[in-house]
């Protein structure tokens, strides 16, 4: 469909519509800003952030008014050349600077607008370098770039003056601003020179031209513009029904917790379990009271919440967050966790409490395995079947966009999603940032962040507090002093738990820690680790006691499992599960009770191996089966990687942990005597040998001593030093000695002696270097391949349907089948050529995405019922979880 040459369009006709006029689009985006940016949000200079972004919205696509862009989007006049003259963002960025008049707006606010508009379709750059090159450096060497800007301004002046005048008048209130802007580009270089002066002197780029708050301001302007623009282009309704949140109310949460407490019969003088329940109730009451005072006295900021494992931190943390949210008139809470494996448990708890739908405006789960979406049903403007189908597709796109933008009242996500969206995010990632304005952000176990981020994470938390008016709660069982230097709180971060009035660690004394001879040898001489044969013999000797052995790598877990079961005196829980799966033909239909019955009927001692090489759907059922078996006094033995440390609610009589940093040891101890099944459980720390002859290091050293002469921090020597220093001050390693005294010593050594964290990362924020920040990743960037592991005919049919949907470009079916196959999907790191070759032997499902299929009946050497996906000749470098 041809465009009217006398008009100016922002988007061409599509699917039968008549296209979108440029002025209509600019005004629509500007009106959406009222729903994206709170009225009381301000810039560091005190200007209205909403007014800043409104002006940016009105000019962000101004460059589309040129004849060259109109020809480019017109089917009858399509002309892809000259490229530079049809690019719209550069001219729009100069217009953005101009409409933020210098008499009303600070220089950095104007620069932030310049960059936000220039990059509203891309990623943020190093701000100083970008502004310099676009106004001085590159232009001096590239006359064509400046020539294109001049020609664009002249073209609009000649052919679309009414549109230009209206746009600038809408933005500034003056009909003369357009002409003044055009003259500053066409008649002289005054505008370029004015902008360049902010980042250069005598033609040379300044390295310290910007304040530490500039990055946050650019982030706010850019992300708000991106969200308003993308939702406008997608056709989302403009209003609170699209952008608003339904906040989960505190009263409902209180009612749920009150019911749990009443059923638990808390009593400070009762049984140990009753005393524990009393401690939980007391802690929550104190936390809520302190949270209210924290909000009232300081208006938010950074606070910590430190409670030992088993004290109900999740619900207590939510109670604190909702209390602060209500006191500060906020709308949203973000609950961020280190692992995707823990998200489902938190989400399930909230869904049960509020009877909430994940697609509703109250609750969203968002991580790389979960397609976040908020149910969206736009205005019914479709008159026929074809338009209705188009509208349904559009509404689906909008729903996904709103879910990824965290518009729900409570979003449960990962550190990766949160922090990588603050640190040099991709364009689409940025859409969630406006939701953080006035939000309460819970960081659950922030010490799990990579050590390199230990200076950047507090700096980003400071940015959230200072510029987004957010509140951050760092919640952990082993407070790592991560936020002790918070600028907002003057270095004295408030603690929401009444630690001075009551010792919760002493109140929940459930375990005693012991270091076996191999661990003592590591502490003393770093020599002679424990063999797998000796470790297996100790586990076999436990008889009727349930036991959990946590290893540091998958290969180590496999080696220990093989050593334990070598004598054949065990029944494998995974084999019983496989038999039940074969019987019912559907993993979702497998009953946990039936698997447990098969195990118990066998009569032998049960053993179970757990790692992320087991499919998620299988692993979930196996863990639930293990929970039942631990209650049957059948001597269940579980060998697991660290995945079981992360929020798995299961209790063993004894726990064995391969040598690791103290916080990991304490996390593992949280699976021991969890509900006071006995007076004290025992947690044994040992040091396991390398699992095979090819390994140069023990698993503990391979995982935790990666720092070498070139940098990094070796954590095991810090652990050894903290243990030695604590031992001289305590009689035995009880709960308080280990989880409190030793852990505090561990983190103090890291901070005071090792100065842990990469300072350069935090400096990138202060220098507004978004490009460098974007290269900082929380995830080890080793290449991976995803494998769909099929064990039943139904699963094989589903994978084949996915392959066919990709072949036929059936995108609706692709999205649906991707979601349906997530429970059988594994992500395999390609650490070496052997692993890569083994994966590439498998038939591809979507080859360009690195997605392959493993039929366990056809590729038997790639799958083991007990240990899951197997690659021949695997090495210790393979994996942590």
Q: How much is the average pLDDT of 629-639?
A: 95
Residue 134 has pLDDT above 60, yes or no: yes
Give the CA distances from residue 276 to residues 267, 273, 311, 674, 736, in Å, rounded to whole numbers and listed in that order. 8, 5, 8, 10, 15
Q: Which of 738, 709, 321, 691 is nearest to 510 (CA)?
A: 738
Give the count of alpha carbons within 13 A of 535, CB side only. 33
Report yes or no on 759 lying in a domain. Answer: no
168 within some domain: yes
Q: Is the pLDDT of residue 878 over 50?
A: no
Indicate if the pLDDT at residue 843 is higher than 70: yes
Torsion (CA) 674, 677, 680, 681 in degrees, nearest 10: -60
With a cut of 70, say whether residue 367 has pLDDT above it.
no
pTM of the model: 0.88
Q: What is the pLDDT of residue 343?
A: 84
Give me the pLDDT at residue 708, please: 47
More confident residue, 186 or 56: 56
| pLDDT of 377 strictly over 80 | no
Residue-level pLDDT at 482: 79
Please answer whether residues 778 and 419 qualify as being in contact, where contact means their C-beta atoms are separated by less than 8 angstroms: yes
Residue 777, number of CB atoms within 10 A of its CB: 15
The least confident of 138-152, 503-517, 559-573, 843-857 is 138-152
- Give 654-692 pLDDT, tens digit per residue: 999 999 999 899 989 989 988 777 788 999 999 999 998
Whether 552 maps to a domain, the answer reads yes
Domain end, chosen from 481, 506, 531, is at 506
Q: Are residues 81 and 191 in the same domain?
A: yes
CA distance 807 to 452: 42
Residue range 567-603, pLDDT digits in tens: 888 999 999 999 999 999 999 999 999 999 999 999 9
Could you tell me the CA-to-CA distances from 628 to 579, 716, 726 in Å, in that order?
18, 35, 37
Query: What percent of the chain has a predicted confidence (pLDDT) above 70?
Result: 91
What is the rounded average pLDDT of the residues 621-626? 96
715-727 vs 662-669: helix axis angle to the nearest 10? 70
Which of 674, 699, 733 is a domain's end point?
Answer: 733
The pLDDT value recorded for residue 376 is 55
Task: Please count the structural domains in the chain.
Answer: 4
Please indicate, yes or no, whether residues 323 and 432 belong to a single structural domain of this protein.
yes
Same domain, 493 and 583: no
Same-domain status, 294 and 172 = no
Are residues 653 and 672 in contact, defined by beta-carbon separation less than 8 angstroms?
Answer: yes
What is the pLDDT confidence band of residue 138, given thresholds at 50, 70 and 90? low
Distance separating alpha carbons of residues 49 and 29, to the nearest angstrom: 15
Is 2 part of any domain?
A: no
Residue 880's pLDDT band (cuts 50, 70, 90): very low
In a domain, 346, yes or no: yes
Note whether residue 750 is domain-resident.
no
Q: Are strands 200-201 and 204-205 parallel, antiparallel or unpaired?
A: antiparallel
- Asked whether residue 114 falls in the same domain as residue 215, the answer is yes
CB 663 within 8 A of CB 447: yes
> Which of 23-37, 735-749, 861-875 comes out lowest in average pLDDT?
861-875
Which string of b and e fits 254-292 if b means at least 16 CB within 10 Å?
eebbeeebeeeebeeeeebebbbbbbbbbbbebbbebbe
pLDDT digits (tens, 9 = 90+) for 154-187: 999 999 999 999 999 999 999 999 999 999 988 8
* For residues 20-26, average pLDDT: 95
Residues 526 and 467 in one domain: no
**CB neighbourhood size of 533 (10 A):** 11
Q: Whole-angstrom distance between the N-terminal and C-terminal Cα of the chain?
A: 55
The reply to whether 579 and 681 lie within a common domain is yes
Average pLDDT rounded to a whole number, residues 106-111: 97
- Convert the pLDDT of each residue in 226-255 to its tens digit: 999 999 998 899 988 899 999 999 999 999
- 90 and 27, same structural domain? yes
In a domain, 268, yes or no: no
160 and 288 in a single domain? The answer is no
Parent domain of 138? 9-233
Whether 542 and 660 map to the same domain: the answer is: yes
* Residue 385 confidence class, pLDDT cut points 50, 70, 90: very low
Q: How confident is the model at residue 832 (pLDDT cuts 50, 70, 90)?
A: confident
Q: Report d(CA 406, CA 420) in Å as an integer.
A: 15
Neighbours of 122 (CB within 10 A): 12
Same structural domain, 533 and 481: no
Give the pLDDT of residue 243.
94
Mean pLDDT of 822-834: 86
Asked if 139 and 192 touch (Cβ cutoff 8 Å), the reply is yes
Top-confidence residue, 138 or 495: 495
Please give the average per-residue pLDDT across 623-652, as a whole number.
90
CATH of the domain at 518: 3.40.50.300
Region 790-817: mean pLDDT is: 94
Q: Name the nearest CA neighbour of 439 among 315, 296, 329.
A: 329
487: pLDDT strictly greater than 60: no
Instruction: Return left, alpha or beta for 675; rule: phi > 0 is left, psi -120 to 50 is alpha, else beta.
Output: alpha
Q: How far apart are CA 455 and CA 483, in angstroms?
A: 9
Query: Going by C-beta distance under 8 Å and a sequence separation of 6 or more, which residues neighbour residue 234?
Result: 394, 397, 398, 401
Domain end call among 471, 506, 541: 506
Contact 388, 434 (CB under 8 A): no
Q: What is the pLDDT of residues 270-288, one digit of tens each?
A: 888 888 889 889 999 999 9
- pLDDT, residue 375, reads 55
Please tell me the predicted confidence (pLDDT) of residue 564. Answer: 96
* CA 320 to chain centroid: 21
- Average pLDDT value over all residues in the chain: 88
Nearest CA to 331 out of 415, 424, 215, 411 is that of 411
CA distance 426 to 124: 8
Q: Judge whether residue 753 has pLDDT over 80.
A: no
Region 95-123: mean pLDDT is 95
- CATH of residue 203's domain is 1.10.3210
Residue 336 lies in a domain: yes
> Is pLDDT at 489 greater than 70 in this prediction?
no
Question: Band of the pLDDT at 382, cuts 50, 70, 90?
Answer: very low
DSSP of 346-408: HHHHHHHHHT--TTSSSEEEEBTTB-------------SHHHHHHHHHHHHHHHHHHHHTT-S
The answer on 31 and 132 residing in a single domain is yes
């Amino acid at each position: 469909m041809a465009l009217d040459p006398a008009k100016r369009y922002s988007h061409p006709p599509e699917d039968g519509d008549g296209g979108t006029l440029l002025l209509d689009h600019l005004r629509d985006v500007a009106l959406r800003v009222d729903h994206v940016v709170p009225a009381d949000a301000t810039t560091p200079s005190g200007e209205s952030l909403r007014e800043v972004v409104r002006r940016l919205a009105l000019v962000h696509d101004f460059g589309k008014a040129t004849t060259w862009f109109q020809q480019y989007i017109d089917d009858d006049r399509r002309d892809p050349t000259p490229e530079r003259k049809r690019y719209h963002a550069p001219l729009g960025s100069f217009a953005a600077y101009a409409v933020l008049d210098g008499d009303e707006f600070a220089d950095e606010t104007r620069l932030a607008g310049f960059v936000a508009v220039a990059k509203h379709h891309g990623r943020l750059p190093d701000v100083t370098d970008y502004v310099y090159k676009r106004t001085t450096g590159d232009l001096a060497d590239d006359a064509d770039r400046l020539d294109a800007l001049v020609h664009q301004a002249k073209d609009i002046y000649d052919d679309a003056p009414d549109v230009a005048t209206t746009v600038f008048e809408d933005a500034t209130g003056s009909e003369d601003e357009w002409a003044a802007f055009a003259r500053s580009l066409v008649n002289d270089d005054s505008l370029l020179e004015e902008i360049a002066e902010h980042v250069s002197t005598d033609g040379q780029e300044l390295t310290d031209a910007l304040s530490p708050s500039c990055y946050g301001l650019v982030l706010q302007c850019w992300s708000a513009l991106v969200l308003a623009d993308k939702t406008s282009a997608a056709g989302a309704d403009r209003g609170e029904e699209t952008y608003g949140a339904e906040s989960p109310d505190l009263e409902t949460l209180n009612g749920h917790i009150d019911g749990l407490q009443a059923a638990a019969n808390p009593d400070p003088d009762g049984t140990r379990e009753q005393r524990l329940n009393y401690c939980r109730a007391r802690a929550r009451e104190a936390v809520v009271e302190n949270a209210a005072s924290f909000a009232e006295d300081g208006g938010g900021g950074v606070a910590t919440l430190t409670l030992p494992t088993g004290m109900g931190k999740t619900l207590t943390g939510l109670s604190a967050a909702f209390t602060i949210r209500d006191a500060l008139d906020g709308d949203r809470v973000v609950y961020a966790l280190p692992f995707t494996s823990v998200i489902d448990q938190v989400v399930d708890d909230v869904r049960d409490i509020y009877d909430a739908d994940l697609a509703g405006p109250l609750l969203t789960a968002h991580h790389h395995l979960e397609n976040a979406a908020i149910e969206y049903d736009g205005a019914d403007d479709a008159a026929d079947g074809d338009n209705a189908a188009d509208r349904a597709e559009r509404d689906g796109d909008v729903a996904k966009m709103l879910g990824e933008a965290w518009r729900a009242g409570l979003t449960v996500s990962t550190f990766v999603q949160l922090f990588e969206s603050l640190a040099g995010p991709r364009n689409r990632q940025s859409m969630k940032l406006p939701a953080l304005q006035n939000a309460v952000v819970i960081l659950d176990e922030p010490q799990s962040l990579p050590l390199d981020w230990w200076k950047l994470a507090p700096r980003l938390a400071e940015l959230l507090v200072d510029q987004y008016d957010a509140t951050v709660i760092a919640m952990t069982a082993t407070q790592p002093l991560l936020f002790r230097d918070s600028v907002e709180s003057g270095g004295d971060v408030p603690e929401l738990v009444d630690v001075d009035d009551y010792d919760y660690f002493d109140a929940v004394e459930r375990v005693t820690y012991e270091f076996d001879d191999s661990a003592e040898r590591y502490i003393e001489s770093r020599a002679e680790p424990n063999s797998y044969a000796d470790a297996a013999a100790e586990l076999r000797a436990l008889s009727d006691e349930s036991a959990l052995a946590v290893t540091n790598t998958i290969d180590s877990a496999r080696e220990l499992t093989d050593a334990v079961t070598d004598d054949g005196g065990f029944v494998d829980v995974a084999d019983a599960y496989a038999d039940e799966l074969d019987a019912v033909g559907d993993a979702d239909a497998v009953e946990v009770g039936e698997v447990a019955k098969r195990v118990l009927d066998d009569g032998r001692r049960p053993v179970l191996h757990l790692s992320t090489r087991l499919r998620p759907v299988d692993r979930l059922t196996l863990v639930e089966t293990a929970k039942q078996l631990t209650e049957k006094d059948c001597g269940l033995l579980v060998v697991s990687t660290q995945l079981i440390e992360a929020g798995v609610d299961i209790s063993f009589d004894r726990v064995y942990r391969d040598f690791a940093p103290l916080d990991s040891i304490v996390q593992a101890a949280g699976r021991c005597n969890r509900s006071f099944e006995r007076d004290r459980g025992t947690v044994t720390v040992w040091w396991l040998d390398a699992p095979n002859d090819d390994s140069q290091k023990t698993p503990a050293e391979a995982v935790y001593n990666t720092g070498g002469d070139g940098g990094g921090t070796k954590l095991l020597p810090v652990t050894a030093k903290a243990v030695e220093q604590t031992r001289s001050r305590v009689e035995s390693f009880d709960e308080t000695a280990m989880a409190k005294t030793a852990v505090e010593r561990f983190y103090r050594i890291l901070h005071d002696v090792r100065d842990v964290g990469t300072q350069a990362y935090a400096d990138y924020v202060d220098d507004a270097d978004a490009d460098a920040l974007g290269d900082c990743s929380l995830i080890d960037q080793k290449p991976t391949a995803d494998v769909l592991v099929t064990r039943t005919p139904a699963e094989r049919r589903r994978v084949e349907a996915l392959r066919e949907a990709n072949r036929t470009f059936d995108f609706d079916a692709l999205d649906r089948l991707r979601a349906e196959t997530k429970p059988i999907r594994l992500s395999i790191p390609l650490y070496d050529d052997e692993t890569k070759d083994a994966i590439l032997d498998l038939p591809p499902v979507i080859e360009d995405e690195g997605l392959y299929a493993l039929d366990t009946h056809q590729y038997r050497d790639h799958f083991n019922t007990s240990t899951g996906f197997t690659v021949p000749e695997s090495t210790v470098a393979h994996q942590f979880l």
